[in-house]
Amino acid sequence: MTELILQRFGTAGAGWRPVCLLEDLEECWGEAALVGGEQIALFRLPGNRLHAVGNIDPRTRAAVMARGIVGSSGAAPTIASPLHKEVYDLGTGTCLSGGEGLRVYPVRCTDGIVEVGGTP
């Protein structure tokens, strides 16, 4: 899969991995991607704001966060696990009920290509 992405998009530069086109991400809906051997959940919010967090639910260890429910807590965008509805801050990965949080990855869009950083 990574080879196909690199063939399609080329390399993104030091520390950044191309994942998909911005237009491939539906607004307020998550998509899972395998990036550097890690499962990542990508989210595109209104205004083309991008977030990337670990796709593994910390409570159940199931790979489901990309199918979570997008919402907000005040001005902070959130994702609720589709299994037990634990809510996490998409910007920080913090579990709002005090449990284990999600890993957060840097994400950017360059020339319409979504890139994730901080992966091996």
CATH number at 55 reads 2.102.10.10
Q: How many domains does the chain have?
A: 1
Structure token digits, residue 73: 């807590």
Instruction: Check whether 6 has a pLDDT greater than 90.
Output: no
> How does DSSP classify residue 5?
H
The residue count of the chain comes to 120
Helix (H) or strand (E) holding 50: strand 49-54
Tens digit of pLDDT for each residue in 74-101? Answer: 999 999 999 999 999 999 999 999 999 9
Q: Which domain holds residue 49?
A: 2-117
Instruction: Check whether 1 has a pLDDT greater than 90.
Output: no
Strand, helix or coil for residue 109? strand
Average pLDDT over the chain, rounded to whole? 90
Confidence of residue 14 (pLDDT cuts 50, 70, 90): low
What pTM was computed for the model? Answer: 0.86
